[in-house]
Amino acid sequence: MNKKWEYYSCDEKIVNKICKKYNIDKLLATILVNRGIVEEETIRKFLEPTRADFHNPFLLPDMEIAVDTIIEAITKKEKIIIYGDYDVDGITSVSVLQKFLEERGINVDHHIPNRLEEGYGLNKEAIEEIAKSGYKLMITVDCGISGIEEVEFANSLGIRTIITDHHEPLEELPKAVAVIDAKRKDNKYPFNQLAGVGVVFKFIQAIGMKLGLDEKEYLKYLDLVCVGTISDIVPLMDENRVITKLGLKLVNVTKNLGLKYLLEATGYSKVDSNTISFGIAPRINACGRMGHETEALDIFLSDDINEVKELTRKLNEYNKTRQETEKDIVNEALELIEKNSEDKNSTIVLGSKGWHHGVIGIVSSKITENYFKPSILVSFEDGIAKGSGRSIPGFDLHDALCKCSEYLEKYGGHEMAVGLSLKEENFEKFKEKFEQIAKNSHIDEISRVIYIDGTLSLEDIKAETVKELQKLEPFGEGNKMPLFAYKDLRIHSIRALTDGKHLKLTLRDDNIIIDAIGFNMGSLVEDYKIGDKVDIVGVLEINNFNGKETVQMNLKDIMKSI
């Protein structure tokens, strides 16, 4: 389906003013205006943030109490256990906090639940084992805010808990020693979109300030904090922008052996947000998805080069296994969709035996992206269906599940992504009701929209323009890569690559040839021919091939010119 193209409305006077004042390219100034970044201090902080732009960590709820508790633990030489999560945010959170506390002379250990056996968050069995091991102080990272019963259980076993989290709290907070979460109703912290590892960074910053440490003692962890923040898809604005902009500089010269070898393993020649999102994050997440969460943590904690090399090899293997498993499930899902004409429905709800729980959410994302429909995929096992779902903008998936709760055993998540479980016998009833809810919400009227920052002309197709736009890095949620339209181009050549998967074009503007690549757009090769006049939308980028730099358009959509 062709997407709906929508252009940002931009005030040319403001754009020209910013161009002159900051001596920057018009395209860059246009994007800043499109993002609402127009005030002098806001522009400075966005383009060139400094360590002075960090907010005061003691504005976070319960931070003072938590810091005092840690300092007391340091004095008394208490053992501390960190309870984390198995994704990149959780793994980097544990790594940063454990390394920082160990450098303060504290005996620290950790527990990361196994995704396939324990699932997400606190659980009583793990807490019981923690108590048996003699721990009296537990710090949660990237989890814990909804663990009311579990924290009460920990209290009953004599374990004090400090919660650091970034998820939405329930009406009631756990009865912990301290609950650090900027999403609390009584929060006074000026930014509430930190990743879990961002909250941990503020925690060690506060401890460092209280102990009178040199700021480098906590700033040196910004490489891992940056990796966790970019990977967790939080909005890269305000303090997250400061973390990731400064953090990427440290990632490039990281002293963390595990991160260094992982970067080499990705094969990326340049370290940027793409390297983190598509190179580092999948390898770390693959560990948790495939049930090997401890290796993901060990690679960041280890200072043994031989161990790190072996762990890097394992992480690559886990990622390959994850990719193969994912590919198999995608193929099975596509067969089911075709066989049962599921794509004719407003939603796609599929169930099968043997689908891997750790991978099913990624497959759901691919199905939703492919068909632009909310999808839910579940795996049947011992009479229970467990799975994940992904949505499209404009359809609240969590709200839809609330309306189907009579058929569900458990569910959770948010507007765009959910996890759920139900009895297999209720699957068809759930599917029918879920489809009806989507139809009643007029989901078929929702269009796939591409938001376009501006229109390119021939003078923009140069390496200097692309390099100027790189000042907008790091890209991610809340700061997407800018998209541009280029109109009235003639197709000079067109072919499919990689067994028909991708689309390769050369396009002519006057006598100048422009390269374009459309990943996963190979099927369109039959719709166009040499000489056709087309409009395209895409990302302006530099392609390095055989040592030669050329500017190309990475296509997001194409249509025939009117």
Question: For 245-302, what is each residue's pLDDT tens digit?
Answer: 999 999 999 999 999 999 999 988 889 999 999 999 999 999 988 888 899 999 999 9
Ramachandran category for residue 498: left, alpha or beta (phi over 0 → left; psi -120 to 50 → alpha): left
Percentage, residues of the chain above pLDDT 70: 100
When pLDDT is cut at 50, 70 and 90, the band that residue 363 belongs to is: very high
Question: Mind listing the pLDDT tens digit for each residue in 389-444?
Answer: 999 999 999 999 999 999 999 887 778 888 899 999 999 999 999 999 999 999 98
When pLDDT is cut at 50, 70 and 90, the band that residue 233 belongs to is: confident
C-alpha–C-alpha distance, residues 55 and 72, integer Å: 25
Q: Which amino acid is located at 25 in the chain?
A: D
| Contact present, 381 and 368 (Cβ < 8 Å) | no
Note the pLDDT of residue 152. Answer: 97
Domain 4-11+450-560 has CATH 1.10.3720.10: no
Architecture of domain 57-251: Alpha-Beta Complex (3.90)
C-alpha–C-alpha distance, residues 243 and 206, integer Å: 16
The arithmetic mean of pLDDT across residues 151-178, rounded, is 95
- Listed range (57-71, 247-261, 503-517, 543-557) with the worst mean pLDDT: 543-557
Q: How far is CA 145 from its chain centroid?
A: 20
Note the pLDDT of residue 410. Answer: 85
pTM over 0.85: yes
Note the pLDDT of residue 419. Answer: 87
Q: Encoding tokens for residue 210?
A: 């209280």
Q: Which amino acid is located at 170 in the chain?
A: L
User: DSSP string covering 270-306, please?
Assistant: S-SHHHIIIIIHHHHHHHHHTT-HHHHHHHHH---HH
Domain ranges of the chain: 4-11+450-560, 57-251, 340-445
Note the pLDDT of residue 2. Answer: 61
Which residue has 């492919």 as its token pair?
Answer: 370
Domain 340-445 has CATH 3.10.310.30: yes
| Contact present, 59 and 189 (Cβ < 8 Å) | yes
DSSP designation for 51: G
